[in-house]
Amino acid sequence: MTQSLVTEDLAAGYGSRAVLHGIDLTVPPGRITAIVGANACGKSTLLRAMSRLLPPRAGRVLLDGKEVHRMPARALARQLGLLPQAPLAPEGITVADLIGRGRHPHHGPFQRWSREDDAAVAAAMEATQTVDLAERAVDELSGGQRQRVWIAMALAQETDVLLLDEPTTFLDVAHQVEVLDLLVDLNAARGTTVVMVLHDLNLAARYAHHLVALAAGRLHSAGPPAAVLTEEMVAHVFGLSARIIRDPVAGTPLMLPIGRHRSGGAGWGS
């Protein structure tokens, strides 16, 4: 069942440093949401607060009307999964063992591994095309392979909501597209609500149904890509002059940055 994720007047930070200020946000259930913004604007902090890794200083985060910071950890982990930025795997662990760890929230103190666990892990590996990697050590894999394995672990958790912090970081463009295509397939097949932090505005606009733009820890705008990815938003959020045109492939907004050397110079074929 698709679940709603909402923040109400959310404020969060680290030590004496305030990062988020009064964030009111409703994540569309069963859709893909991308959070964008300049460096240090609070994107990862928002994801951490939504997953209860970071307690709020004010306000609250609600999952189907329940405050996530008051939910039992195991109960929350059955409903909401998080793939953090640059996760670390135990040295020497195999792909199959790491993916299997996604089943831990479904096990009680004395509950043994079940057929349901086998089926969930097999489905996750099939969806992420990691079956052939099952017996390999995670630390021997390429960046793209490792990211697919981590996503497989999150899929094995079988949550209705999946949060991903920069899932395409350190990947080349081919692997970025591969990972984002995988998330679209997951959303279409399972109806999983996906919330991800992305740096690439154009990939965010192409792959997300819903964009959230943050500026200095505050919500600048949220809505469909065509409504959010505007020249005004790019100027305010990123301090960058840009032109927005229609993506000739996807029909989504496409941002063209304008730098200091925007005119003159050699052209194509020079």
- Residue 13 exposed, middle or buried by CB count within 10 Å (0-12, 13-18, 19+): middle
Lowest mean pLDDT among 52-61, 105-114, 133-142: 105-114
Cα separation of 128 and 113, whole Å? Answer: 22
Residue 240 pLDDT > 90, yes or no? yes
Q: Are 83 and 183 in contact (CB under 8 A)?
A: no
Q: Are 179 and 169 in contact (CB under 8 A)?
A: no
Stretch 220-225: mean pLDDT: 97
Residue 241 pLDDT > 60, yes or no? yes
Q: How confident is the model at residue 44 (pLDDT cuts 50, 70, 90)?
A: very high
Stretch 51-63: mean pLDDT: 95
pLDDT mean across residues, the chain? 91
- pTM summary value: 0.89
**Token pair in block for residue 171:** 């990947």
Residue 267 pLDDT > 70, yes or no? no
Stretch 81-100: mean pLDDT: 90
> Is residue 156 classed as helix, strand or coil in its secondary structure?
helix
Residue 3's pLDDT is what?
Answer: 72
Residue 78's pLDDT is what?
Answer: 86
User: Cα dihedral angle (21, 26, 28, 32), rounded to 10 degrees?
Assistant: 10
Q: How confident is the model at residue 168 (pLDDT cuts 50, 70, 90)?
A: confident
Residue 2 pLDDT > 80, yes or no? no
Residue 190's pLDDT is what?
Answer: 87
- pLDDT digits 0-9 by tens, 177-220: 988 998 999 899 889 999 999 999 999 999 999 999 999 999 99
Residue 175's pLDDT is what?
Answer: 84
Cα separation of 211 and 195, whole Å? Answer: 10
Beta bridge partners of 119: none
Task: Find the distance separating the first CA and the last CA of the chain, reported in whole Å.
Answer: 57
Residue 270's pLDDT is what?
Answer: 44
- Using CA atoms, how far residue 176 sits from 65, 196, 199, 210, in Å, is 34, 13, 11, 19
Q: Are 10 and 49 in contact (CB under 8 A)?
A: yes
Residue 113's pLDDT is what?
Answer: 81
Residue 269's pLDDT is what?
Answer: 52
Q: Percentage of the chain surpassing pLDDT 70?
A: 95
Cα separation of 260 and 86, whole Å? Answer: 34
Q: Which residue has the tokens 């680290």?
A: 14
